[in-house]
Each structure stands twice: as C-alpha cells, then as structure tokens.
Amino acid sequence: MAENGLASTLDAATPQPAGVEGYPGPFPVGRYAVKLRERMRDLARVCVVGEVTGARVGQGPNVYFELRDADGALPCAMWRTDFERARLTPDDLRDGAQVVAAGGCDYYVGSASASPSFRFRVQELRPAGEGDLLARLERLRRQLAGEGLFELQKRLPVARLPRRIGVVTAEGSAARRDFLAGLERRSWRGTIVWGYAPVQDRRAAPAIAAQVRDLAAFGRVDAIVVTRGGGSIADLWAFCDEALCRTVALLGVPVISAVGHDVDRTLIDDVSAVCCSTPTHAAEAAVGIDCAAARAHLSATAVRVDDHGRRAVDRRAPLAAATRRVDRALRRAVDRRGPLAMAARRIDRAGRRAVDRRAPLTTAARRVDQAGRLAVVRRARELASHSRAPRAQLNRHLVQLHQKAREMRAASRRGIDIRQGWQRRIAATVLDRKVAAARAGADRERTALAARVADLDRAARVLGERQAQALKVCRSSLDAHDPQRTLERGYAVVATPDGDPLAGTGALRAAGAFQVLMADGAVAAHVDEDREERPDGRD
C-alpha cells in the first residue's frame, strides 16, 4: 500500500497544526484509520491454512483465534453467525488443530476509548484434510453400493408398533434425551434396550458395531436405532466406518440411523433401513403411529363392528325360527338315515380319537418349538462369544506384548547400565594408562631438565669464571691507569685547594694558591713570581 496514495484520498481542508516537511498531512488519525481499513478490505480474499492457537469462543459476537505455522502467524476473527452456520464447535478450534480459513484482511479502527487492531476476517472455516475425508467417503460409498449393501436393510419390514427398541448412542447424550422426547410424542411406553457406546473417536466404530450385533443377538428387539447429534465430518467419521456399515447391512433387524443433522450424510445412513435427520425423527420412524390416537381409533372401530354385529343379529332373528324348523326337518331326515347316522357317529368318534391322539403330538411340537428357540438363543450367544473370542485373544496378545515390551525396556536398561559400567571401566583403564604414560614422560622431562640445569650451572660457572677473569683484567688495566700508581712512583699533582687539578702554568698563576698532591699526602703552596725563574722553568 502506498502511503502517498492513501494520503491523496484525504483532504487537509480542516485547519491542522503544521506538519513535517516532505510528508503530506497532518490528517486526523481517525480518518486515516478509516481509509486504511478501506484499503485493507480491498485486498484480495484468500484461503490460508495453519494451526489454531489461543481460540476464544465466548458469548460475544466474534470468535477469535490465531493461525500459525513455522514462518509466521495471523490474528483471526470470525463472526459468531458465520461460525455457527458452518456448524463448527469449540473443539474444532482446539490448540494445534489444522484448519483452512477463507476471508480477507480487516482493520478495526478503534476509538478514543478502544484500541485499534488488525484481524484476518474469516468468513468460512473447515478442518484441514476434510476434503481428503470426503474423497475417501465417496470411494467407500461407491464400493458398498456396487456390492449391493445399500439394498439389504431396505428389504426388511419395519414394524410400525414395535414392542422393544434397541438404541445405540452415547450415555447421557442430548441425542438420548431427544429420542425419548420423540417417543413421548408418540405416547409409546414399551421397552428400550440401551446399547451405550462412544460416538466420536477411534474406539467408537468398533464399539457401535459390537452393540448393534449384540442387540440383534440378545436384545430381542424389533428395530435398532443408531443416533448421535451433529458435528463435523471428522466428528461423524465413526459412522462411515466400513466394518460398521457392513455389519449393519448384513443385520437381520432393521436399523434406523439418525446421525448428525439434515445436511450430514454418513455411510451408515446409506446402508440402514431408514435414515432420519435427527434423534427425534428417529423415534417417530421407529414408532410409526401415534399410540394414543391409535387407541382412540381402535375404540371407534370396535364400536362400529359391534353395531354391525348387533344389526346382523337383529336381521338374523326372523330367520332363526325358520332355521330351527329346517334343523328339525334335517334331524328327521337324518333319523331316517339311521345306518348312515350310525356310520357318521362312528366316523365322528374315530375323528375324536384321532384328535385325542394328536394332543401329545401337539405337546411334543410345542416342546420342540421351545427347544428350538432355546437352541437359537444359545447358538446366538455362542456365535457372539466366538465373535468376541478373537478380540479377547487379541487383548491377551496385547497384554503379552505390553509385558514383553516392558521386559525388553527393563532388559535394555540393564544392558545399557552394564555397557555403561564396562565403558566406565575401560575409560578408567585407558585414563590410568595415559596418566602412567604422562608420568613417565614427565619423569623423562624432569631428568632431561635436570641435565639441562646442570649444563646451565656449569655454563654459568664457566661464564662467571670468565667474567671474573675479564674483571680482573679490567681491574689491572684500571690500576695501570690509576694516577695513584703514578704518584707512588714519585710524581706529584698540582691542584687547587679544592682539589681541582691545575694543568698549566697559566692556571697555576691564576689560582695563586695551590696544593701539591703526592703519594703519601698533600703540601700547600703558592706562586712566588719574585724568585728568579730558572731556565728549565722548574721552581
């Protein structure tokens, strides 16, 4: 953004204090901030991807969070209405969640009492990787549809008035409450068998499949409802699990699914007998009639049937006498057919005996029926236990593996300790050897040093002797030049009374008084020019 460009959009008509040379303005800061906001909003709308941190989903109109990656961060704000329209939950903005945010730059201009701030205004948000999930979901949907698994459940009849309903959902969930409210609206008060299971994590799909299987095997239910509330596709992913969907598709009991909201379409919705949008709708699908209304209707039907019955009886009365007359005539005819009647009675008795003989057979058939039912239940339990056996075996193996892993960790710790002990010992030995070698070297150095010290001592002695000799020579030379030696040979030195030597006659005359220094002492003298000067110049 060019500052001058921004400045050109402002006019400085209002009298303002003097500015700074080379800079346009000064402009009122609020107007400048408004123009800055307009410029920021003009920047292109984009999608950014990053990791959520520090999300604040309070009661205010905005949801705040930051997006970060290794190279930078962006403060973000999203209107709560947009957040709720996207059916997002605070869990979608947990720290560390990867999301894709679409929107653009925005600037809150602040006021005299509010601080300004820059924000990336997010208009749409979805968890990163959701696109991958949707692609996988579509592949799986095509595969199961190709195998015909979407049709199996839909061929099962769904009772409109079930006595027992199995429900798989999370214990204490809102879906459970909504489902009960739906049943209450139907005035249905039969038996519910709850199969509680987690509905949102990696444990959810196997747990839901197990509950669905057990409900079909043991629950003696007329229908099974699988339900949970809304969420993102990642939250609902357990209901797209292939194993779960295959289990539901092959079940002999109709399954009614109600997962998420209207717009959510999980794979279990495709394979189930009935797909509903909410838990309440699932309750109304499971109980197809309003029981209170049905009772009232049935009472009215009973009245109508009774009316028809009474009218029929009334119509029958005049005929009854004729019928009786006809009966009597028939009986007379029968009596006339005595032998035939006798045979008929014998046949009748034989028939009764046959019926009597059939009674034990009926009893036996009932027993067989009961034994069959019991066998079916036992077989179902056996099959269910078999289906759980691999899981139990896996769990045992898992426990054993964990034990082995613990033992391996302990063994490796012991191994590390032993290895470290050996390393310490080896290091100590090496160090000892190095110390010994260093000591031997030091001894050698010390010996060599002592030899060098002795050499130096010798050299110093020789040098001292030579220096003493040289000194002696110097001393002899000095002694040779010493005037005292000359005096000892009989010479004398003429000097002032202060001791300064007088080198010529001129200096001697000038001094007047002088002293004569000889080897054994000094004699004071003075110049006496009155005496005759000897030709040799001597006094």
Q: How far is the CB of 286 from another protein (least distance, A)?
A: 11
Token match 């299987």: residue?
213
Q: How far is the CB of 63 from another protein (least distance, A)?
A: 39
Q: How far is the CB of 301 from another protein (least distance, A)?
A: 6
Of all helices (H) and strands (E), which one includes residue 232? none
The distance between the two most distant Cα atoms of the chain, rounded to a whole number of Å, is 237
Which CB sits closer to another protein, 217 or 517? 217
Q: How far is the CB of 211 from another protein (least distance, A)?
A: 6
**Quick one: which of 41, 45, 56, 304 contacts another protein (CB under 8 A)?**
304
| Number of residues located near another protein, criterion CB under 8 A | 45
Q: How far is the CB of 110 from another protein (least distance, A)?
A: 57
Q: Is 319 in the site for another protein (CB under 8 A)?
A: yes
Q: How far is the CB of 291 from another protein (least distance, A)?
A: 6
DSSP codes, 132-191: HHHHHHHHHHHHHHHTTHHHHGGGS---SS-SEEEEEE-TT-HHHHHHHHHHHHTT---E
For another protein, which stretch binds (CB under 8 A), given 22-30, 65-73, 297-305, 392-400?
Answer: 297-305
Q: Is 179 in the site for another protein (CB under 8 A)?
A: no
User: Phi and psi (nearest 5°) for 114?
Assistant: -125, 140
**Cis status, amide bond into 26, omega within 30 of 0:** yes
For another protein, which stretch binds (CB under 8 A), given 81-89, 109-117, 186-194, 514-522?
Answer: 186-194
Write each residue from 187 to 206 as x if it is in contact with another protein (CB under 8 A), else as -, in one continuous string. Answer: xxxxxxxxxx----------
Q: How far is the CB of 374 from another protein (least distance, A)?
A: 11
CA distance 455 to 298: 136
Q: Is 316 in the site for another protein (CB under 8 A)?
A: yes
Q: How far is the CB of 103 from another protein (least distance, A)?
A: 47
Q: How far is the CB of 307 from another protein (least distance, A)?
A: 9
**Quick one: which of 128, 294, 341, 527 contacts another protein (CB under 8 A)?**
294
3-class secondary-structure state, position 53 = strand
209 CB-near residues (< 8 Å, 6+ apart)? 241, 243, 244, 247, 248
The first and second tokens of residue 452, run together, are 């060098």
Which CB sits closer to another protein, 173 or 187? 187
For another protein, which stretch binds (CB under 8 A), given 67-75, 295-303, 337-345, 450-458?
Answer: 295-303
**Quick one: which of 102, 174, 243, 302 contacts another protein (CB under 8 A)?**
302
Write each residue from 369 to 408 as x if it is in contact with another protein (CB under 8 A), else as -, in one continuous string. Answer: --------x---x---------------------------
CA distance 98 to 333: 99
246 CB-near residues (< 8 Å, 6+ apart)? 144, 149, 271
**Quick one: which of 308, 331, 397, 424 contacts another protein (CB under 8 A)?**
308
Q: What are the beta bridge partners of residue 526?
A: 513
* Residues in 210-249 at the binding interface with another protein, rule: CB under 8 A: 211, 214-215, 218-220
The first and second tokens of residue 312, run together, are 């029929």
User: Phi and psi (nearest 5°) for 18?
Assistant: -60, 145
Determine the distance from the C-alpha atom of residue 408 to the mean position of all C-alpha atoms in its chain, rounded to a whole number.
28
Q: How many CB atoms lie within 10 A of CB 145?
A: 14
Of all helices (H) and strands (E), which one includes residue 391? helix 338-481
* Residues in 110-169 at the binding interface with another protein, rule: CB under 8 A: 159-164, 166
The first and second tokens of residue 491, run together, are 């010479």
Type of residue at 454: A
The first and second tokens of residue 81, run together, are 């209405």
Given the DSSP bridges, would you call strands 493-495 and 513-518 parallel, antiparallel or unpaired?
antiparallel
For another protein, which stretch binds (CB under 8 A), given 74-82, 143-151, 310-318, 328-336?
Answer: 310-318
Which CB sits closer to another protein, 146 or 157? 157
Which CB sits closer to another protein, 301 or 393? 301
Give counts: helices (H), strands (E), the chain: 14, 13
Residues in contact with another protein by the rule CB under 8 A? 159-164, 166, 180, 183, 187-196, 211, 214-215, 218-220, 287, 291, 294-295, 298, 301-302, 304-306, 308-309, 311-313, 315-316, 319, 377, 381
